[in-house]
Amino acid sequence: MDIVTIVLVLAIFGGLLMAFSIGANDAANAMASSVGSRAITVKQAVLIASTLAFAGAVFLGANVAATISRGIINPDMIPDQNILMLGMLSALLSAGLWVLLATLFGFPVSTTHSIVGSILGFGFVAGGPEVVRWGTMVGIVLSWIISPFFGALLAYLVFSHIRKKVLSARDFVRNAKLWAPFWLAMTVVLVMTSFLLKMPLGKALGISAYAIFGIACAVAAVVWGIGYLVVGRFLHGVEQGPESMEELFRRMQIGMACYMALSLGANDVANAIGPVAAIWVIARTGGLAATAEVPLWLLLFGGVGIAVGVMVLGKRVMSTVGERITLLTNTRGFSVGFGAATTVLMASNLGMPVSTTHATVGGVVGVGLARGFAAVDFRVLGKIVMYWLLTVPIAAFTSIVIYQLLRWSVY
């Protein structure tokens, strides 16, 4: 067996490790607020997340993924293709191990930043500092501040609005009939817009941004009208009080969580199989192209890894994000999901590499702060932030160590 085949086989196992770690850690993005607010149980969350993440990875995942390496380093400055393959393998193993370690301790980290840090590490050693695209790294550092801040701000504003206009209103039923359909319409618009702009299948439809905006406005008006009638019937005969609204928002929250699980599989599977696809291309063509064809069996492989990761270790990070930072109810959990999804959608359209993990944690802190500083456990939050800051340097250092060991073994 030649060295290229050996590296390719090891890369497939590295991709499986990364997919497993993504499922175990990123499951918190989709399900943590639903579990924390008791909208669903942990077992139900694991079942929903594993099923939809697998479906998203296999049926909606990108079959042509841009090779991650080209965004972080310039591979043209590393002419030896064997070095590139060893570097990609090192990055996969390093990122997978770091995300797995963070998951075992129950802390959410960005899987994207892990793979970025890992590629940065081997690129720095293999080609020197000039091969690194430092502008990308500056954007990632800024995202550590921007995504949690806007996630927190949006979640704070959404929950404050629901609390003021509905939960604390004197004429509770009248206000609920007006404002609950509004947030229902906004949720449908957010999910639909995210699907068309972010999901690989939605992008393939080729609908322009202006057309999407027009469709979104029309859909919002229709959904508000239907929602007005449905909420009116739902609240018919209900006495004054917020409990009935919590039940209404529980259903909306579960719908949004299902979409986020589907999106997790469709979008994050590329983090696991993108480097594998890059090695696949190098092995077949002898060079790294701008994009790499991803065979269906690799998508299936990534989908299985994500689903198994959710089932085996998903509840650890769900518990930290959903239960240990602050107390969540259904309206607060809905606000978290809405704030995080909106932040990621807006930032992605501006070309900013934000993390869903960071936006979700920011959203949880935001709804906690709406009840005062004492409602947030800053000790848990401090540990989470420490893991975020350590992600890139630790992933980079581990990648360097693995790369040097592999290089020493081969040459």
64: confidence class by pLDDT, cuts 50, 70, 90: very low
212 pLDDT above the threshold of 90: no
Exposed/middle/buried for 206, CB within 10 Å: 0-12, 13-18, 19+? exposed
Tens of pLDDT, residues 25-59: 987 777 888 888 788 888 888 888 888 888 877 77
Q: Which helix (H) or strand (E) holds 185?
A: helix 172-198
Tens of pLDDT, residues 362-393: 999 999 999 888 999 999 999 999 999 999 99
Predicted pLDDT at 292: 60
Q: What is the mean pLDDT of the chain?
A: 83
Tens of pLDDT, residues 140-149: 778 778 889 9
- What's this model's pTM, rounded to 2 decimal places? 0.85
Distance CA 36, CA 57 (A): 26
For residue 44, the tally of other CB atoms under 10 A from its CB is 14
Predicted pLDDT at 112: 81
Please compute the mean of the pLDDT values over residues 328-346 and round it to a whole number. 86
Distance CA 277, CA 175 (A): 53
Tokens for 389?
């800051």
CA 144 to chain CA mean position, Å: 14
CA 200 to chain CA mean position, Å: 15
Distance CA 367, CA 387 (A): 22
Parallel/antiparallel/unpaired status of strands 291-293 and 64-66: antiparallel
